[in-house]
Structure 1
Amino acid sequence: MSKVVIIKNDQGRLEGIDLQGQRAYQKWRRLVTDLPVGQTLSFSYRMPRSPAHHRLFFAKLNSLLARTEAFTELDKLRYWIVMGAGYFDLVPGFDGKPNAIPRSLDFESMDEVEFGELHRQVDSFLWGPRAQQTLWPHLDEEGRYRCVESFLREFE
């Protein structure tokens, strides 16, 4: 697979980041420009992960850890919450039944777009009854709702 890294120059034009990148970018532009009518072209892109967004996500996890007695370790809370958000793989267990394994959140595994979507899914999961019952089992439904509300308001 070809890779093109581009940058916007001082004149506001896109160009390759170095000489090799410039050649790759020119080939890509030519491919797009010369695309015949009715033909399709598929390409992928990767948004660099934002360290500030990564820090915010983990600050939220640390705050949530301090607000619940259900978890005492950040890693276990993180595994549970990302699996609750649907970010896992199923692998066969020793008994043959599928087990959910949380996917990695490292910078190489997820770009910023994917990480942003995971973040939204985690916030959405927290509004659900399963998450709230697990995190605050001693509270009634209204109390759990207020916990999520106050937690998320902290990070607006």
Structure 2
Amino acid sequence: MSEITLVKRSDLQLSDEQRATLRLALFEMIDGLAESDQKSWRRFWNWITRAGVGEMFSIETWTARHGGFHRRHMKIEVAVFKCQERIRSFEQFRTWLKIGAGFVDWMAGPRGGVVPVPRSISYRKCDEDTMRQFHDDAIAFLRSEHATRYLWPHLDAEGGERMIEAIFAEFDE
């Protein structure tokens, strides 16, 4: 999910021809899916055009998730979890993976320090772009010497690398 902050920079006066072109782009080329979405879309643009110079707007965008990509990522997580030797709970493994991949929000801890709080990868809270970035970061983390030594403590660095690459090879990763 991306948040975009906008500011109205001027009260630009448009010619009738410019207004017609803008209207065509905003309401013909792009429009809400359902009638309620169309009404919301028009209200949003009316709000922007009526606002004064310097007023700010914030919008959130969300790209629908691709189910196939999500399932593939989950299969990779499960495959790594099943092959590793350190973490007993899948939920704990996923928490460790999110922290290692940097997929966290940093918050004040109970004693004043800063602690990582893993973010959600639910469909509603993690859109396609965010999920793909998490996937790339998770794969990079799992390839790190730190991760492979932790997951397979009996292996040296080369053995850990061979282990994770063997798992990833099953998924053409």
Distance 1:101 1:94 in 2: 13
State how 1:103-142 maps to structure 2 within 5 Å. Answer: 103-142=119-158
The letter for the 2-side match of 1:110 is C
- Does 2:87 align with 1:71? yes
Distance 2:104 2:159 in 1: 29
Q: Deviations for 1:13-65, whole angstroms, at most 9, x for unmatched residues?
A: 654212233345567799xxxxxxxxxx9865311122322222221111111
Tell me the percent identity.
27
Stretches of structure 2 that go unaligned for 5 or more consecutive residues are 1-28, 47-56
47, 54, 57: which one aligns with 2:63: 47
Distance 1:42 1:93 in 2: 29
Q: CA deviation at 1:141?
A: 1.3
Question: Per the alignment, do residues 16 and 83 of structure 1 end up closer, same or farther by CA in structure 2, a change over 3 Å counting?
Answer: same
Q: Which moved more, 1:65-74 or 1:41-50?
A: 41-50
Instruction: Provide the secondary structure at the position in 2 that maps to 1:91.
Output: strand
Q: State the TM-score, normalizing by the size of structure 2.
A: 0.68
Question: Per the alignment, do residues 27 and 149 of structure 1 end up closer, same or farther by CA in structure 2, a change over 3 Å counting?
Answer: same
* Contact in 2 for aligned 1:82/1:102 (Cα 8 Å): yes
2:78 paired residue number: 62
Higher helix share: 2
Distance 2:73 2:127 in 1: 14
* Superposed CA RMSD: 2.8
1:97 paired residue number: 113
* Contact in 2 for aligned 1:61/1:74 (Cα 8 Å): no
2:170 paired residue number: 154
* Contact in 1 for aligned 2:80/2:164 (Cα 8 Å): no
Larger Rg: 2
1:8 paired residue number: none
Distance 1:18 1:90 in 2: 38
Q: RCO greater where, 1 or 2, for CA within 8 Å and sep 6 or more?
A: 2
Q: CA deviation at 1:96?
A: 2.1
Instruction: Provide the secondary structure at the position in 1 that maps to 2:115.
Output: strand
Which stretches of structure 1, 4 residues or longer, exceed 3 Å deviation after superposition? 22-30, 41-44
Q: CA deviation at 1:94?
A: 2.7
1:144 paired residue number: 160
Distance 2:85 2:165 in 1: 18
Distance 2:110 2:38 in 1: 51
Q: CA deviation at 1:105?
A: 1.2
